[in-house]
Amino acid sequence: MNGDREPDRVTKEDVISMAHYFDVVKIVVGHTVVSSFKKLTEGMVLAIDIIQLYTKNNKAVQALLIVGNKEYKVNDRGGKQECI
């Protein structure tokens, strides 16, 4: 971000280029606050910076688990849900 200017948006082509450069099929990003895990750019980007409100409203803390080609949302209470 430059001053008051809006940040440049990353295009699908940018994501594909980065994925090829790093030889990966998915990119996981933090510092993109979301209420739940979110797939962006046709599932190539996973935004995982979830606001953890465990102490405020007793919700389970969430984390990302990747097994093979599948992503799961897991929590500290043993819950596991595939991210679609």
Residue-range domain boundaries for the chain: 12-82
pLDDT greater at residue 2 or residue 71: 71
Contact 80, 74 (CB under 8 A): yes
Instruction: Please give the pLDDT value at position 84.
Output: 67
pTM here is: 0.67
| pLDDT band at residue 2 under the 50/70/90 scheme | very low
| pLDDT of residue 55 exceeding 70 | no
Residue 65 has pLDDT above 50, yes or no: yes
51 φ, ψ to 5°?
-70, 115
pLDDT number for residue 53: 58
Radius of gyration over every alpha carbon of the chain, rounded to an integer in angstroms? 15
Predicted confidence (pLDDT) per residue in 6-33, tens digit: 556 788 999 999 999 999 998 988 876 7
